[in-house]
């Protein structure tokens, strides 16, 4: 991708740092669909709920093991995916939690589908499971179905009734939640290296997928020749010094809810904003002190949450404390720039 005019001018400052962050690696963070509440999961065995605008920790749950993912149910409750193989439901208003169900290995991903009224989890046990959180008589009542995957689940994303599952071995499966008996499509990643993150386009036409090798591919659900001709991949989160390329994993992707542009976060500590339609980089924020572990835009796109958190990509070593920054987003950073029209002859 090329840079849009002005893209090189980094926005100054990191944003406002949240007080009382997790004490170990941040596995994910997500804004609520209803407010500026932010849900954060961490390797420090906690799930925390913040009011991002007020910079206030509103609640916290401690788990028996590291928490690998979290998602909202409504504004004050959510679900967590645990390394202890469990899927939990958390209510911050009542401070109550219960176990929704279990996998046979750590649970890597959790999503709540408003369309289906179900929780979907993906695990390193090579399955995804669907749960009905309204089931009240124990885990056997809440489990809707178990669906075998070709490999360990690394990342998942939902848009409407579509579920995209990315696993080890560069497999991608696309499901319709209304008929989970088999995937609508089975694909192989367009990228040569291990998948790090997958996120669906807000308009429901496809998904972005990132790899450990500094690349992102833009993929489309429609299998027609004309739709597939639009797919492409681009390099990002790389550094060139004296003829040598250093390549960084792209850990996080977040789409802007209004404009459909998207941010990527890399192990290089940078957050870039891209216009995927016009194939331009719109913005690069100034470098963070540590690897970017997760990103999320607020419901109206006016805030961007950034997790600056070392992900042990280079093993055990001294690193900066884990931190969450809340950035105010200016329209110039995320709004696609209109293509310049040729002067009339």
For residue 213, what are its two tokens?
């090798």
Least confidently predicted of 109-123, 239-253, 256-270: 239-253
pLDDT for the residue 242: 83
Considering only the C-alpha atoms of the chain, give the largest distance between any 2 of them, rounded to a whole number of Å: 74
Question: What is the reported pLDDT for 311?
Answer: 72
Residue pair 3/236 in contact (Cβ under 8 Å)? The answer is no
Phi-psi bin for 228: left (phi > 0), alpha (psi -120 to 50), beta? Answer: alpha
pLDDT at 280 over 80: yes
Q: pLDDT tens digits for 173-208?
A: 999 999 999 999 999 999 999 999 999 999 999 999
Whether 12 shows a pLDDT value over 90: the answer reads no
Q: C-alpha angle with apex 252: 8 to 77, nearest 5 degrees?
A: 130
Statement: residue 335 has pLDDT above 80? yes
Q: pTM of the entire structure?
A: 0.93
| Lowest pLDDT segment from 47-61, 218-232, 310-324 | 310-324
Please state, in angstroms and as integers, the Cα–Cα distance from residue 162 to each residue in 158, 203, 248, following that order.
6, 12, 29
Which of 99-108, 264-273, 315-324 has the least mean pLDDT?
A: 315-324
């Amino acid at each position: 991708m090329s840079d849009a005019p002005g893209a090189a001018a980094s926005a100054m400052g990191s944003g406002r740092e949240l007080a009382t962050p997790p004490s170990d690696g941040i596995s994910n963070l997500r804004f609520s669909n209803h407010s500026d509440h932010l849900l954060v999961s961490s390797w420090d065995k906690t799930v925390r709920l913040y009011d991002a605008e007020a910079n206030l920790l509103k609640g916290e749950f401690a788990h028996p093991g590291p928490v690998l993912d979290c998602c909202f149910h409504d504004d004050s409750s959510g679900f967590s995916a645990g390394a202890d193989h469990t899927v939990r439901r958390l209510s911050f208003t009542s401070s109550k939690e219960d176990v929704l169900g279990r996998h046979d290995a750590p649970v890597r991903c959790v999503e709540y589908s408003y369309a289906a009224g179900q929780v979907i989890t993906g695990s390193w046990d090579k399955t995804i499971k669907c749960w009905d959180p309204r089931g009240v008589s124990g885990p056997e009542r809440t489990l809707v179905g178990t669906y075998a995957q070709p490999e360990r689940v690394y990342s998942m994303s939902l848009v409407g009734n579509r579920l995209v599952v990315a696993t080890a071995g560069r497999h991608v499966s696309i499901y319709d939640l209304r008929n989970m008996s088999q995937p609508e499509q089975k694909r192989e990643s367009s990228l040569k290296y291990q998948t790090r993150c997958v996120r669906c386009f807000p308009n429901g036409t496809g998904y972005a997928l990132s790899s450990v090798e500094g690349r992102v591919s833009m993929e489309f659900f429609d299998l027609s020749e004309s739709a597939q001709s639009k797919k492409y991949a681009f390099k990002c989160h790389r550094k060139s010094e004296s003829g040598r390329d250093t390549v960084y994993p792209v850990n996080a992707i977040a789409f802007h809810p209004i404009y459909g542009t998207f941010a990527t976060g890399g192990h290089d500590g940078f957050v870039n904003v891209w216009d995927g339609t016009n194939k331009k980089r719109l913005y690069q924020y100034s470098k963070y002190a540590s690897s970017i572990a997760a990103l999320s835009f607020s419901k109206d796109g006016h805030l961007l949450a950034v997790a600056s958190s070392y992900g042990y990509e280079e093993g055990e070593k001294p690193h900066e404390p884990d931190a969450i920054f809340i950035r105010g987003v200016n329209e110039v950073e995320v709004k696609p720039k209109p293509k310049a029209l040729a002067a009339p002859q």
